[in-house]
Structure 1
Amino acid sequence: MPDRTRRPVPEFEAVLPKYLRIAHDIRDRIERGELVVGDEVDSERVLAARWRVARPTAAKALNTLRRQGIVESRRGSGTYVADRALSPVESEHNGRTGHYGTPYLESPEMTVLAATMAVPPEHIAEVLGLSAEGVVIMRKRLATSQSGSTELAISWYPPNLAAVAPKLLVAEYLPSDPAVATGQRTVRARGRMRARLATAEEVESLRLGTPSAVLIHELTCYAADGGVIQVDEIVFPSGRWLFHQDWH
């Protein structure tokens, strides 16, 4: 019999990794009120069976929601809807309010290209509230799929996190966000998009022609005190449909 607890998959989600589709499904159930604060979320075993995936994929989906503050784990008990599960996003490109979530997460499909202290671009320094000469933590990753390179992801962190989350400077896959060690949690995020021509580095990494247009998704995550925790920049190549929406 079909599993009626799972919603139909929109076309824009069909291109996402399976763990993100699982995470989005759980988040949608919370937004619809099917799950409320304090409710227990399906376990890794249940999710793996329902979605016909391996346990690590189900675990990655739950970890995605933990990083976003949507669910929380209780040792020896399970995973539950957190009390800040539905934090709003300020979306500058359409003026509407939604729910936040990082557009990517590190996963085995991600290749870490760099993890170092670097001078950020002027617009990143401005968001982080730093001078043009200051250095910040920079992590750069390349996502790949069977069809090839799909996105170039760059995360920028305030330099003070280097002392409390040193793994940010390790150029290897991190199964969870080391910034959590600071005790900070994203309570608000702001997303915006723009298009431009690809840089020489982006052309090489994403194997694009010259010239090529790319879509930039910038996401800024804020802590409860208003400070910026991180700024993510995701570079998407042209020639791929990322979203599909019907209007009636």
Structure 2
Amino acid sequence: MPQIEEAQPKYLQIAHYIRDQILRGDLRPGDEVPSERQLAQDWKVSRPTAARSLEALRQQGFVEKRQGSGTYVRSLEVNRRARELYGRARQTGKIYTPGEYAVITSAGWMDAPDHVAEALGLAKDRRAVHRRRVTNDESGPITISTSWFGPDIGQRAPKLRDPERIQEGTLMYVESMTGRQGSYAEDRMCARTATEDEAADLRLPPSSPVLIVHHVVYDLQDHPLEFAEATYPPGRWAFEQGYPLA
């Protein structure tokens, strides 16, 4: 018979919590992470458990230990994916970290491509609202993403059709305007060569490899709320949760 999985070990729960803070941008390169003593006190665990969580972060490349000083976040180029953006928006009310900003390159009504219509459950009316953005940091463009919403949401959330930034992020804005709450999301990923437009926007040589993520958010009734397609340049990391092998 299949067995229900046990909860993750405490040291991994602590490590993943700190890792998510790093991926969201709450802890930035050079910031000191809590000490073994502080983690043991905050999480009510033993010092060896706290030490093991920091060691797991070190092995994953997120932090480095400096002799006689403490443990600090390493400089690491990461793809800040939707789950990190949503987490940051819900924590701080802002979707981007300091130094990051988005330029909306197009917004408004458009006939949805087949894969978008299928993901959003559009049948007869293929019109959808799209928002295409290029996200930048100090180094230049880091992501291209296009969000798509069905016609009912497009009517009830007019800012989606405006090429101005939505400070709290599109999903939180849609939730506030429609009363529909995002419940869970699914991601599908693949790699391919960049299109001409993608290569130009990301300042990549022609035919560079890129990571593509298709992201669908579902509401509490399991109805699709948002479909997003994101394009990431090579050389930046994307992370998922750890998992047991047994």
- Per the alignment, residue 155 of structure 1 pairs with 147
SS at structure 2 position matched to 1:160 = helix
**Cα-to-partner distance string for 1:193-218 (whole Å, 9 max, x where unaligned):** 11111111101111111111110111
Q: Find the counterpart in structure 1 of residue 203 from structure 2.
A: 207
Which of 107, 110, 121 aligns to 1:115? It is 107
Name 1:178's counterpart in structure 2. Answer: 173
Q: Comparing 182-191 with 104-113, which one deviates more in the overlay?
A: 104-113
CA positional deviation for 1:242: 3.3
**Long gaps (5+) in structure 1:** 1-5, 26-32, 35-62, 74-103
Cα distance in 2, alignment partners of residues 132 and 197 from structure 1: 32
Tell me whether 1:130 sits opposite 2:122 in the alignment.
yes
1:109-150 per-residue CA deviation (whole Å, 9 max, x = no partner) reads: 111111111122211111111248712010011111111110
Partner of 1:194 in structure 2? 190
TM-score normalised by length of structure 1 = 0.58
Structure 1 residue 246, shift from structure 2 partner: 9.3
- 1:31-46, aligned counterparts within 5 Å? none
1:241 Cα shift?
A: 3.1
How far apart are 1:64 and its partner, in Å?
4.3
Supply the AA of the counterpart residue of 2:185.
A
How many matched pairs? 175
Displacement after TM superposition at 1:184 (Å): 0.4
Mind listing any 5+ residue stretches in structure 2 that lack a counterpart? 1-13, 34-41, 44-84
The CA RMSD over aligned residues, in Å, is 4.1
Report the Cα distance in structure 2 between the residues aligned to 1:209 and 1:221, rounded to whole angstroms.
32
In the alignment, which of 193, 212, 217 is matched to residue 213 of structure 2?
217
Question: Which residue identity is paired with 1:158?
Answer: G
Q: Deviations over 1:47-71 (max 9, x none)?
A: xxxxxxxxxxxxxxxx944866xx7
Letter in 2 for 1:18: G
TM-score for the superposition, normalised by structure 2: 0.58
Q: 1:153 to 1:132 in 2, by over 3 A?
A: farther
Larger Rg: 2
Structure having the higher helix fraction is: 2
- 1:1-248 matched pairs, under 5 angstroms: 10=19, 16=23, 18-19=25-26, 64-65=86-87, 105=95, 109-131=101-123, 134-176=126-168, 177-180=172-175, 181-243=177-239
Match of 2:4 in 1: none
Q: Distance in 2 between matches of 1:148 and 1:136?
A: 30
User: What's the CA shift string for 1:17-45, capped at 9, x where partnerless?
Assistant: 62487xxx9xxxxxxx96xxxxxxxxxxx
User: What residue identity is the alignment partner of 1:178?
Assistant: Y
